[in-house]
């Protein structure tokens, strides 16, 4: 299967309101995602998780919670084997797990 492996910095850009060319890119990427062609490496997931922890420590709890929810949903939508492997690693210090 051909697809696109996103780096954490691309995901970070997508967390901001899209404008101009960034908006066109976000639309294009959304279409690829709906086709099941967008992927994140475990390393990128770690970098995003680290960023969430930094936001939490800076007091940006609303943004941290939104990114944590997005990341959790993203991982849960992945194939079962990857999701089972990665899910326990998602909980940043100080952030509650969903459903607990």
Q: Residues near 65 by Cβ (< 8 Å), separated by ≥ 6?
A: 95
11-62: pLDDT as tens digits: 777 777 777 888 888 888 888 888 888 887 878 888 888 889 999 999 999 9
Q: What is the 3-state secondary structure (H, E, C) of 11-44?
A: HHHHCCCCCHHHHHHHHHHHHHHHCCCEEECHHH
Distances (CA, A) of 2 to 5, 10, 39: 10, 18, 10
pTM: 0.63
Q: What is the pLDDT of residue 82?
A: 53
């Amino acid at each position: 299967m051909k697809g696109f492996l996103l780096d954490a910095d691309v995901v970070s850009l997508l967390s901001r309101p899209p404008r101009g060319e960034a908006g066109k890119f976000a639309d294009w990427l959304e279409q690829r995602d709906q086709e099941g062609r967008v992927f994140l490496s475990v390393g990128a997931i770690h970098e995003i998780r680290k960023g969430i922890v930094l936001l939490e420590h800076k007091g940006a709890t609303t943004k941290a919670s939104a990114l944590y929810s997005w990341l959790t949903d993203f991982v849960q939508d992945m194939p079962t084997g990857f999701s089972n492997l990665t899910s326990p690693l998602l909980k940043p210090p100080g952030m509650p797990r969903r459903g607990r």
